[in-house]
Amino acid sequence: MSLRLLDGATVATSHEASFDVVVVGSGPAGAAVARAAARGGARVAVVEEGPYVEPSEFPEDGFSAMARLYRDLGTSVLTGNAPMPFLQGRVVGGTSVINGAISWRLPRDVYDEWTAADPALGDAIPWDEVEAALDAVEADLGIHPTEPEVAGLNNSLLARGAEALGLEHRPISRNVRGCRGLGRCLQGCPEGHKTSMDLTYLPDACAHGAEVLCSTRAIRVRCDGSRAVGVDAVTEAGARVRLEARRAVVLAASAVQTPALLQASGILHGRPGEGFQCHPGVSMVGRFPDLVRMWTGATQGHEVIGLRREGIKLEALGYDMALVAMRAKGVGAQLAHDIADLGHFCNWGAAIRARGRGRVSARRGGRVAVSFSLTREDVLRLRRGLAVMGEMMLAAGADHVTPGIPGWPERITDRAEMARFADEGPLDPKAYTMAVTHMFGTCRMGSDPARSVVRPDFRHHRVEGLYVADSSVFPTNTGVNPQTSIIALASICARRVLESSDRG
């Protein structure tokens, strides 16, 4: 299968077209909506700000990949009591192209939280329907646990450390087929073994008549009275694009870009952008006597799930050699020694289910500002996550670990000293180096129009024919990697679009 593309980099004159459904965003949510809607007989257009890049053209080094495949070269930053970068793909296929392929089902306890707070959600999206959608995603994308032969030592050591501490752990389930453990998930798999949206759902949608407009930025949802009737966009070459949506406009541009587009369109009901939530993450580095070569094997192939109910999830992290070298210290002979020693280091991460809240705000020229602050409870989780990772590394055989926290030794060799960090680490959020990859909650779904942007069936409360399908509708963050949940719920959203159109 192939994509039906209109490349905005080459479209320099105005363009108009009419479709049944216009989808903004080609990542997991947008691709899922496009596929289901096109299979249901709708004529579908997908608008994607980023370019289309063939897998064979994915850069090998992380810096080049960030320049070509990531939004803002991977330098987008949340402002607040601890500024931190957040990472998003800006390419056909969205973040599915450059993530670690981690595939978690929506936890039942998270769904139960949502429906306990708003029972109408359970009525509109029954658990049986969610489970069936999750099953379909797993089958579609070949999701399965990481095989030992492609895991690599970085992942195996995490398993060893977790076992030593008596923590529940397991191989990570990933959306891959034929993975050879190249360690290049974060740069895009050059062999196309990651079943990202550009290789799966989008080609399927195009086989059923959908079209993808890439290098084209949506700038406004166009309304006629109280009904959404289309999308205005601009191509990379500077041309205006006017797309008519006869049946529905579906926003699936992420928990950052979707509320910003609503704000830019003057659609402010429910205060889109408020309630931003995320999973901040910290990492720990450890040195092992044996060669680890963290840039080989599955990029993220093993995880600790025994702390999930505490709001902490631990994962192995693999980076390409250029990014690993950034952690080297010193200059001259010391720097040369550290570079030569890179193969002995491993890197693991702790993501937390943060309680903090923030806000997304649209700015002039299509720019977006995101603010977010950690709570004291969040910092306590970060401390515990770092302490446990350090203990795990030392238990797995590391000769030292490097917390990278002001006021603490650069090298720790004793498990008891590392364990103290959980109680004695700093409470200042700025003491921690963090990054964010999962974002939620900025266009919440709910039955109360005063406290939510869309209804439990994904329809906007005030604008007919307008739907939101991405993680911005999630009432809370999930504490786990959300891609599979996003795809499943977006597929259900597409079903509601088709049902509503049939009734209309």
DSSP string, 28-91: HHHHHHHHHHHHTT--EEEE-SSPP--GGGS-SSHHHHHHHHBGGGGT-EEESSS-EEB--B-S
Question: Do residues 200 and 137 make contact, with C-beta atoms less than 8 angstroms apart?
Answer: no
Beta carbons within 8 Å of 472's beta carbon, 6+ residues apart: 254, 255, 258, 259, 272, 439, 440, 441, 442, 443, 444, 453
- 199 strand-pairing partners: none
Beta carbons within 8 Å of 332's beta carbon, 6+ residues apart: none
Q: Which of 279, 438, 460, 461 is catalytic?
A: 438
- Sign, CA dihedral 403-99-220-365, equals positive
Neighbours of 345 (CB within 10 A): 21
Question: Do residues 399 and 390 make contact, with C-beta atoms less than 8 angstroms apart?
Answer: no
Per DSSP, the three-state class of 153 is helix
Neighbours of 296 (CB within 10 A): 19
As given in the structure block, the two tokens for residue 127 are 């658990």
Radius of gyration of the chain (CA): 22
The DSSP bridge pattern shows strands 368-372 and 77-79 to be parallel
Question: Do residues 280 and 137 make contact, with C-beta atoms less than 8 angstroms apart?
Answer: no
Nearest to 269 by CA among 462, 459, 446, 464: 462
Task: Look up residue 361 and give its amino acid.
Answer: S
Neighbours of 108 (CB within 10 A): 11
As given in the structure block, the two tokens for residue 240 are 């205006």
Beta carbons within 8 Å of 479's beta carbon, 6+ residues apart: 107, 110, 279, 308, 311, 313, 353
Does the active-site annotation cover 438? yes
As given in the structure block, the two tokens for residue 468 are 């939101």
Residues acting as catalytic residues: 438
